[in-house]
Amino acid sequence: MTQTPIIELDGLSKRFTKELDMAEKTARLLGSSVAPQTVHAVDNVSFRINTGEVMGLVGESGCGKSTLGRMVAGLLTPSEAGSCFTARMSRKCRAQRPVRRR
């Protein structure tokens, strides 16, 4: 008998980008090689938790545990296409669309 998982993640990723501030933009105009910084908070995470199972998520400080939990709870959207299914909430996580800047 196949169990329906309570939570199932497949290829979930989240990146945060720190845009340049005014001083960095000015330095860039003057020839500096300053670029926006990207942090790979969660990268290609996959797992499944079935009914009756217990899972512990452990890792060093700043490794993405809370970010992963926020994506599962629906507080953050994944940066890249990955699927997140939570049976109790009956929803799928969707990757966020790129933001167009003018």
Rounded Cα distance, 62 and 94, in Å: 23
Query: pLDDT, tens digit, for every residue of 29-71?
Result: 999 999 999 999 999 999 989 888 999 999 999 999 999 999 8
54, 45 contact by CB (below 8 A): no
Query: pLDDT, tens digit, for every residue of 85-96?
Result: 766 555 556 655
Instruction: Note the pTM of the prediction, 2 decimals.
Output: 0.71
Query: How high is the pLDDT of residue 85?
Result: 72
58 token code pair = 């452990």
Say how many C-beta atoms besides its own lie within 10 A of residue 60's C-beta. 7
For residue 3, pLDDT beyond 80: no
28 token code pair = 């860039």
What are the two backbone dihedrals, phi and then psi, of residue 37, each rounded to the nearest 5 degrees? -100, 135
Bridge partners for 85 per DSSP: 8, 92
